[in-house]
Amino acid sequence: MKKYIAFFRLRFSMGLQYRTAAFAGIITQFAWASMEILMFRAFYQADADSFPMTFEATCAYVWMQQAFLALFMAWMMENEIFDSIVNGNIAYELCRPINIYNMWFSRSLANRIAKAVLRCFPILLVAAFLPAPYGLMLPASPAAFCLFLFTLLAGVGVTVAFCMLIYMVSFFTISPAGIRMVAVSVVEFFSGATIPLPFFPERLRRIFELLPFASMQNIPLRIYSGDLSGEPMRRAILIQVFWLLTLIGIGKLLDAAAMKKITVQGG
């Protein structure tokens, strides 16, 4: 375990060095959040009663989504890992007394957290001082905030575990570009990244909430905004924990299968 913690610390420290990229990301995310909130505002002004979330909750959802964008976006996968699989540099990793899955998981987790740490605080600070209802609302209670933190960590775990599946599947393909493109599109749609899941028709929403993608950003952001509480919240947390353990288990199985069949040519 110590060696994987060391990988986490090294990747986390490395991720904190990209401050210029983080600044550019903050500006981009401020602009995107502002456009998205104004778009929702236009719809709410037309007929506010027909929407499943209050406008304040929707604004909180958008601001938190942008603040923690690096934690949940599937397109933030590491090109370095894909390159090592394609060009054969994975051979150097196999020489080490480590488990590839555990090392990549810890590195990916650290990379996402480092990017989020650099970007989230300026966004949250400015959003908190914006006038209502456009700003960031406070959580409903201290208990809701604690549940938000728990589900936030579990959500990034689900995201990383899903990305690990893409890495492992890449061992069995000639090029990972196709499976990566499809996976990113699926996550963007079904996780609530493009449209919050409560805005979908009820029958579709119930199906989407059972999928692993809803356990990424949908649950923590809705808990923070107060849109998810009570029995539905408890059920959602159980589903989130289930998918976290399931995706890790499937990833471990794929890792074992890949290590048995991997072939590195050349020398």
Domain boundaries, the chain: 2-261
The pLDDT value recorded for residue 51 is 84
CB atoms within 10 A of CB 249: 11
User: pLDDT tens, 92-109?
Assistant: 877 878 889 999 999 999
Q: What DSSP string describes 186-204?
A: HHHHHTTSSS-GGGS-HHH
Q: Which parts of the chain have pLDDT scores under 50?
A: 267
C-alpha distance from residue 43 to each of 29, 33, 35, 141 (Å): 21, 16, 13, 29
- The rounded radius of gyration (Å) of the Cα atoms in the chain is 19
pLDDT value at position 79? Answer: 86
pLDDT at 266: 53
List Cβ neighbours of 164 (8 Å cut-off, separation of 6 or more).
101, 104, 105, 108, 247, 248, 251
